[in-house]
Amino acid sequence: MDLPVEHLATFAAIVDEGSFEGAARRLHITPSAVSQRVKAMEQRVGSVLVQRSRPVEVTQAGATVLRLARQLERLVDDAARELGGGSAGAILPIVVNADSLATWFVPALARAARETGAQFEVIRSDETLSTERLRRGEAIAALTATKEPVPGCTSTRIGTDRYRACAAPDFAAEHFSDGVTAEALGSAPMLEFDRHDVFQQRFVRRVTRTRVDPPRHYVPSSAEFMRAIELGMGWGMVPELQCRDALAEGRLVEIGARSTIEISLYWQRWNLRSPVLDRLSAVIAEEAAAALTRRQPRSP
């Protein structure tokens, strides 16, 4: 199957820009030329590669071609660096969950940027859903809770993130004065990050062995999520790295004797030899080991 380099680059540009017209502007060619290149690839592959929506959406076959296009960008960029011409300008998209971004991941990425000279694009996604972005060819690596590697990728466990059930002291006194019971959890307002957030329900099932349906708020930002808990909007699961100081200072308290939920994190990346990707992966593993192995003492 012959897929010319310029056609693959065009396909990546379509996905990046969200439209054929946007790709044409980026590549300084006409929209008609973009369309002809895509049609030529679809004829060679024998499948539709992209849905002509706004923004465009890649098909299953298109995801495979997009991954090939991204890998080609990575190889060209590596070659440019090795030949002394500097970076070819490729940006490395990485999928990361919001809580890791709010705690340990950004310093790790800053270190990787210094050591590699590469440019990164962070795509925020829930750790239980992030592999889908890899599967669609939208990212070269992902921090995920999924152990099973995506086709074409490797999966390495990098540590365990710990979440604690937290509430403001006044909130805990009002709603849990008689203990963390099914009745109390059914009436106390609960905070969730978004509609994919499962941590609170995992805690509830552990404590009550049943399902409850409490009133809830959705706050899709890590810092604001914890701030909302401190302000008494509800209780929620907060990363240990994020709530350490608030617990020590008494701004938050833990609820329940078994308040900790643990989640294993995996670094999935393309199974592709690349000096930049190899170094990025090494830095992420080192920084995760340093951050995620420090345990927070339980509050009294």
The whole-number pLDDT of residue 219 equals: 96
Burial environment of residue 36 by CB neighbours within 10 A (0 to 12, 13 to 18, 19 or more) = middle
Q: Tell me, what amino acid is at 53?
A: S
Residue matched to tokens 């409490």: 214
**Per-residue pLDDT of the chain in tens (300 residues, 90 and over written 9):** 788 999 999 999 999 899 999 999 999 999 999 999 999 999 999 999 999 888 999 998 998 899 888 888 888 888 887 777 666 567 889 999 999 999 999 999 999 999 998 999 999 988 777 888 888 888 899 999 999 999 889 999 999 999 999 999 999 999 999 999 999 999 999 999 998 888 999 999 988 888 889 999 999 999 999 999 999 999 999 999 999 999 999 999 999 877 789 999 999 999 888 889 999 999 999 999 999 975 544 444
Q: Are strands 153-167 and 260-270 parallel, antiparallel or unpaired?
A: antiparallel
The whole-number pLDDT of residue 126 equals: 82
Q: Are strands 260-270 and 141-144 parallel, antiparallel or unpaired?
A: antiparallel
Q: Is the pTM of this model over 0.85?
A: no
Fold annotation for 1-85? Arc Repressor Mutant, subunit A (1.10.10)
d(CA 215, CA 165): 16
The whole-number pLDDT of residue 298 equals: 46
Q: Tell me, what amino acid is at 121?
A: E
The whole-number pLDDT of residue 272 equals: 85
Task: Report the 10 Å Cβ neighbour count for 291.
Answer: 18
Token pair for residue 148?
A: 């099973």
CATH superfamily of the domain spanning 161-262: Periplasmic binding protein-like II (3.40.190.10)
Among candidate residues 223, 217, 222, 235, the one with its CA nearest the CA of residue 170: 235
Segments making up each domain of the chain, as ranges: 1-85, 161-262
The whole-number pLDDT of residue 296 equals: 45
